[in-house]
């Protein structure tokens, strides 16, 4: 071969249409500033700043030293599925059958599996706007149709039964909610969730409940939709070891699905990912022990203190905050008093002050240009400093 | 809620259509027999019997002890991408740009990404029959169309340029090959691969080369298609740390893709899996060191000895073997002299002798009922014993 045969790139429509995360641009700018010597306060990334617990690092190491480095079953280590079911009982008073728990390599894969199992091309999916951005992409990749419902502080940035009824139309197959929500940190009350599940069951529609931030809630007990008795068989729960359990890099999530979906999810999983990482599954077995859960409760309290610090520091500066976030580690902030271009606002804030936050655009379209997400994944001192810097920045903009 | 609202399962067509792996049935039967006290010789599973190297277990542990348990970039740890590029240079004399290497959670995800990036619904994909079963499922899940080309021992169970030309038609977007192949263990010669790549580039069609078993070849040097100069920009390579590197449970693979696909794969990856497992990536960094590669070479020699033992033991029993497998750890065996129902043959063999092998049906349709796959992922003594048991079993069947 002396000359290279020409080839014209030939990319699929669905892949071409995927938008990059705008937070990635902010992150890249922040890193460039750091390299140039500027101090950055990172409030842009949805990742706890803590590393994983030492006890789980040791548990993973003990397992691999014993040679436990082979594939597990696609559904996950039986012991882990059982222990998660037990955890639901002790932590949430929820009856969960271990056979309905499937371990996945991260909750992204769990979302992809359950959507692939339920959606035909052209089926409609209801999502709140704003919401976790990947959800929209998963729907697009399956050639299903998105019906986003704008939500504001008036409904705590969440969907409710009334909105479902108001926006109802033919062809809806799945409704997706998240509680607590990324980017808003708000929760859906259990009575509302159950009412939605029942309404949707009557319509023969699935309800996917993203409980990825479950456990990270403040001023209220942690709850799971699975604790409600006589829940109809349309409810699918997605969860993760990343956030409350602080195991981001281990890439482990799970789904609790109705019995009829389990054989389908197993077969899909065999093809799509084969098995979740084995060392991570042994680490997760350890993180469900009581002493580890105690350490996680201490971290939850730290997040609660941070939320309070950030929230009150902002109020003290005279900013209007329309909701008190109840969970996760996010504050979704209406910046319409200061800008109608949140992306530019975030970029200028970063360049001028070193405070990195995420523009609303990553989470949807509704009022996205006038909202930003602040992640309190940094310590209280940094949060207070960040609020001072934001205040000073806004003054210079006037 | 006093009564459960009824719900009728409502599964997508594409998920309903996915066939389970028949090997899973064999595996379940084998495990049941083991529980009942029978000795089983496992030759059904595509997984090395070795655990991962101690040095990589330690490297992963050192990283997590240092707190390196956070997300990595979606494309993978920069150091790992760079080290893989260097490995291509030193091991295969292939020039690879680290920016074109993307780390994935297993090669299944790599396959899914590159097919999602390239296939529109209705696009046609050429695959050999027999081939790795997941490939067909990935194509189905993207609503693309499969064109399988039957391959026999006459072409070493591989596609070649002549077959592509003979089977050519409009609408083909991707051709997938594997070298060495699962289930046949055969390789495609580099001159043939390059000729296929050039022919396909002229037609503006991608060539996906599955090199997952690369490194595990016998009586010949290990080769990569990437070592060929002036390769057109339609060639996508898929690889894995599972087989040659013996890291199955760590769930780590990679793709080397043409430059134009990299931003697309990055965006798809951000949505589909976020990042590969961090401890596994630190383990993989270590497995590319010279001392680890020396240990892997010893394991390769063990597989080569096993292949020779199995092959010659079968010849000695008078069985006809139409190809000498050149790589991977599989022997694809034409059992048409003994059965026209390979699945029943495998099941009866297992029940009568405790030898577990995989029916051809898992790999396609062409002559699938008269072929079985034997995996030499057990020691030479077991392989010799298995051949004796198979021989005795066949005699009882006559």
Cβ <8 Å between A276 and B72: no
Q: Please, are residues A254 and A280 in contact by the beta-carbon 8 Å criterion?
A: no
Cβ <8 Å between A9 and B274: no
Residues of B whose CB is below 8 A from A277: 105, 249-251, 277, 279-280
CA dihedral B299, B304, B309, B312 (to 10 degrees): 170
Question: pLDDT digits over A55-80, tens only?
Answer: 999 999 999 999 999 999 999 999 99
Predicted pLDDT of residue A3: 87
Tokens read off for B396: 């009882």
Cα B170 from Cα B193, distance rounded (Å): 21
Predicted pLDDT of residue A19: 86
Cβ <8 Å between A202 and B64: no
Tell whether A24 is within 8 A of chain B (Cβ). yes
Predicted pLDDT of residue A57: 98
- Tell me the H-state helices in chain B: 13-16, 22-35, 54-65, 78-92, 107-118, 133-141, 161-166, 190-202, 262-272, 278-287, 290-316, 342-353, 380-397
Predicted pLDDT of residue A23: 87
Residues of B whose CB is below 8 A from A1: 194, 198, 228-231
Question: pLDDT digits over B278-322, tens only?
Answer: 999 999 999 999 999 999 999 999 999 999 999 999 999 999 999
In chain A the domains, ranked by start, together with CATH numbers, are 14-51+292-393 (3.90.1150.10), 55-288 (3.40.640.10)
Question: pLDDT digits over A10-22, tens only?
Answer: 999 999 999 888 8
- Tell me the H-state helices in A154-289: 161-166, 190-202, 262-272, 278-287
Mean pLDDT of B16-21: 90
- On the 0-12 / 13-18 / 19+ scale of CB atoms within 10 A, B379 is middle
Share of chain B above pLDDT 90, in %: 95
Cβ <8 Å between B108 and A249: no
Tokens read off for B48: 């090395």
Question: pLDDT digits over B43-101, tens only?
Answer: 998 899 999 999 999 999 999 999 999 999 999 999 999 999 999 999 999 999 999 99
Non-local CB neighbours of A37 within 8 Å, separated by 6+ positions: none
Predicted pLDDT of residue A243: 97
Tokens read off for A210: 């993203």
Predicted pLDDT of residue A21: 86
Cβ <8 Å between A7 and B280: no
Predicted pLDDT of residue A170: 97
HEC letters along B350-364: HHHHCEECEEHHHHC
Q: Can you tell me whether residue A372 is helix, strand or coil?
A: strand
Non-local CB neighbours of B170 within 8 Å, separated by 6+ positions: none
Cα A393 from Cα A395, distance rounded (Å): 5
Tell whether B249 is within 8 A of chain A (Cβ). yes
Q: Can you tell me whether residue B209 is helix, strand or coil?
A: strand
Non-local CB neighbours of B237 within 8 Å, separated by 6+ positions: B208, B209, B211, B224, B225, B226, B255, B256, B257
Q: Please, are residues B359 and B18 in contact by the beta-carbon 8 Å criterion?
A: no
Residues in a beta bridge with B356? B42
pLDDT at residue B254 greater than cutoff 60: yes
Cβ <8 Å between A10 and B204: yes
Cβ <8 Å between A118 and B231: no
Predicted pLDDT of residue B108: 96
Predicted pLDDT of residue A28: 87
Residue of B nearest to A228 (CA): B1
Predicted pLDDT of residue B93: 97
> How far is C-alpha B44 from the chain's CA centre?
14
Residues of A whose CB is below 8 A from B269: none
pLDDT at residue B3 greater than cutoff 90: no
Cα B247 from Cα B253, distance rounded (Å): 10
Residues in chain A predicted with pLDDT less than 50, given as ranges, are 1
Cβ <8 Å between A65 and B71: no
Query: How much is the mean pLDDT over chain A?
Result: 96
Residues of B whose CB is below 8 A from A275: 249, 251
Residues of A whose CB is below 8 A from B233: 4, 7, 9
Q: Can you tell me whether residue A56 is helix, strand or coil?
A: helix
A/B interface, count of CB pairs below 8 Å: 270
Tell whether B253 is within 8 A of chain A (Cβ). no
Cα B7 from Cα B5, distance rounded (Å): 7
Cβ <8 Å between B14 and A120: yes
Cα A377 from Cα A42, distance rounded (Å): 8
Cβ <8 Å between A271 and B133: yes
Where residue B397 falls among pLDDT bands split at 50, 70, 90? confident
Nearest CA-CA partner of B258 in B211, B226, B215: B226
Residues in a beta bridge with B253? B104, B240
Residues in a beta bridge with A238? A210, A255
Residues of A whose CB is below 8 A from B261: 9, 11
Tell whether B108 is within 8 A of chain A (Cβ). yes
Q: Please, are residues B223 and B180 in contact by the beta-carbon 8 Å criterion?
A: no
Cβ <8 Å between A121 and B121: yes
Predicted pLDDT of residue A24: 84
A4 vs B11, B205, B232: nearest CB: B232
Cβ <8 Å between B233 and A9: yes
Residues of A whose CB is below 8 A from B249: 68-72, 275, 277-279
Residues of A whose CB is below 8 A from B204: 7-8, 10
Tell me chain B's radius of gyration from C-alpha atoms.
Answer: 22
Mean pLDDT of B206-219: 97
Tell whether B264 is within 8 A of chain A (Cβ). yes
B18 vs A15, A232, A271: nearest CB: A271
């Amino acid at each position: 071969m002396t000359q290279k045969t020409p080839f014209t790139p030939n990319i699929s429509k669905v892949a071409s249409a995927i938008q990059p995360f705008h937070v990635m641009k902010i992150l890249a700018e922040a890193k460039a500033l750091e390299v140039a010597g500027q101090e950055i306060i990172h409030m842009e990334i949805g990742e706890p700043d803590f590393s994983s617990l030492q006890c789980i690092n040791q548990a993973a190491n003990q397992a691999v030293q014993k040679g436990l480095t082979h594939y597990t079953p696609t559904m996950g280590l039986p012991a882990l599925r059982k222990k998660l079911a037990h955890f639901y009982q002790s932590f949430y008073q929820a009856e969960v059958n271990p056979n309905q728990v499937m371990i996945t390599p991260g909750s992204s894969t769990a979302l992809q599996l359950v959507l692939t199992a339920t959606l035909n091309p052209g089926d409609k999916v209801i999502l709140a706007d704003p919401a976790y951005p990947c959800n929209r992409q998963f729907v697009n990749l399956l050639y299903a149709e998105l019906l986003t419902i704008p939500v504001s502080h008036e409904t705590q940035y969440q969907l409710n039964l009334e909105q479902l009824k108001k926006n109802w139309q033919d062809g809806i197959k799945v409704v997706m909610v998240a509680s607590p929500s990324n980017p808003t940190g708000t929760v859906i009350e259990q009575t509302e969730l159950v009412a939605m599940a029942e309404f949707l069951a009557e319509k023969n529609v699935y309800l996917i409940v993203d409980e990825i931030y479950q456990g990270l809630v403040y001023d209220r007990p942690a709850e799971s939709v699975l604790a409600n008795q006589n829940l109809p068989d349309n409810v699918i729960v997605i969860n993760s070891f990343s956030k409350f359990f602080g195991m981001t890099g281990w890439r482990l999530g799970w789904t609790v699905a109705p019995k009829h979906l389990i054989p389908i999810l197993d077969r899909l999983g065999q093809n799509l990912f084969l098995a979740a990482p084995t060392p991570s599954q042994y680490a997760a077995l350890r993180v469900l022990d009581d002493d580890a859960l105690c350490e996680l409760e201490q971290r939850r309290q730290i997040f609660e203190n941070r939320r309070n610090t950030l929230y009150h520091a902002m109020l003290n500066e005279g900013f209007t905050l329309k909701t008190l976030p109840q969970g996760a580690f996010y504050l979704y902030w209406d910046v319409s008093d200061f800008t109608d271009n949140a992306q530019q606002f975030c970029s200028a804030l970063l360049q001028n002050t070193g405070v990195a936050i995420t523009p609303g655009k990553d989470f949807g379209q509704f009022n996205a240009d006038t909202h930003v997400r602040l992640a309190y994944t940094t310590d209280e001192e940094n949060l207070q400093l960040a609020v001072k810097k934001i205040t000073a920045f806004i003054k210079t903009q006037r």
